[in-house]
Amino acid sequence: MIPPEATQAGDMRQAGDTPPAVCLHPIETLQNRPDFLKANGGRRQGMPGFLLQARQRDADEADTALIRVGFTCSKKVGNAVARNRAKRRLREIARQVLPLEGRPGWDYVLIGRPNATASRDFADMLAELRLALRKIHSQKPPK
Give the pLDDT score at 60. Answer: 80
Ranges of residues in the chain with a pLDDT under 50 are 9-13, 15-19, 21
Give the pLDDT score at 73. Answer: 93
Give the pLDDT score at 57. Answer: 87
Percent of the chain's residues with pLDDT above 70: 80
Q: Where are the domains of the chain?
A: 31-138
Q: Tell me the torsion sign for CA atoms 115, 119, 121, 125.
A: positive
> Which residues are bridge partners to 130 per DSSP?
none
Give the pLDDT score at 10. Answer: 47
Give the pLDDT score at 59. Answer: 80
For 31-138, CATH number? 3.30.230.10
Evaluate whether 53 touches 94 at the Cβ level (below 8 Å): no
Q: Helices marked H in 56-120 — which ranges?
A: 80-101
